[in-house]
Structure formats: C-alpha cells, structure tokens
Amino acid sequence: MRKFQIKVDGKTYEVEVEELGGNESSAGTISAPQPIATKVKEEPVSHKVAAKVSPAPAVAGEEVVAPMPGKVLQLKVSEGDSVKEGDTLLILEAMKMENEIVANASGNVKKINVAANDMVDTGDVLLVIG
C-alpha cells in the first residue's frame, strides 16, 4: 500500500492505494481493469484560504494582470497618475521575492483593483491604464 494526500474542492484526503503488477495476461492481451479497494480518511484543512480579489468592472484601457499568484506589498501609483511604459506600478511578493510589476503601455491610471496586502492569482486584473 502507498499513501497519498490529495485535495478535492478544498478538502484534504489521505488515500491508501494498493499497487498491482502488470495487467497483461500470458496471451499478450490486456485484461479488464480490476476494482481497487481504498481507504479514505478526511482531514480538516488546517491552512487559511486567502480572500480572492473580486472581478473588476470593465474599464476601457490596457489591463495590467498579475503574472503569478502573490501578495501586493506596495502600490507605487494612484488613480489618475500619468505613467510611461516600463514604469513600476506596484510590488508583488511571490515565493518570498519582491517583483516589480511595470506598465505595459503609457497613459493615465484609470482604475486600481487591488490594495496593499491583497492576495492575487495569476491573470487577475491589477489595474487599468488608458
């Protein structure tokens, strides 16, 4: 028996699975899969689930999205600020590293969808430049 820990819909389960030998019979054909008995033990999830940033209302302009999941440490701009392509907009902490998120276009900051200490996922719209 081998033990595995799996996560389904936010719940953690410990599963024991019996590893069987090859499924080929002596005639060289593959036999039908055999049901395998498993033991499943539900364990409480002990870590906190971060609050997800709600989807932003549509604002016309160039969206700046999170390239990776992480925590917004510091905003370097405010709504209405003028930015140039390549300017630092915010600092995103991911895997204990501080990453500068830069403007992908020049213009004015139309909408900021995050605040310091917010947790974001890959692809979340952080702000809009128009």
What residue has token string 């590893």?
19
Q: How far apart are CA 38 and CA 17, in angstroms?
A: 6
pLDDT grade for 128, boundaries at 50, 70 and 90: very high
User: Do the Cβ atoms of 89 and 101 come closer than 8 Å?
Assistant: yes
The pLDDT assigned to 4 comes to: 78
Helix (H) or strand (E) holding 28: none
55 has pLDDT over 70: no
Using alpha carbons, select from 64, 60, 53 the residue that is nearest to residue 127: 64
Cα separation, 56 vs 96, whole angstroms = 27
Determine the pLDDT at residue 38. 57
Fold of 62-129: OB fold (Dihydrolipoamide Acetyltransferase, E2P) (2.40.50)
- Assess whether pLDDT exceeds 60 at residue 108: yes
* Alpha carbon distance 53, 45 (integer Å): 21
CATH 2.40.50.100 positions along the chain are 62-129
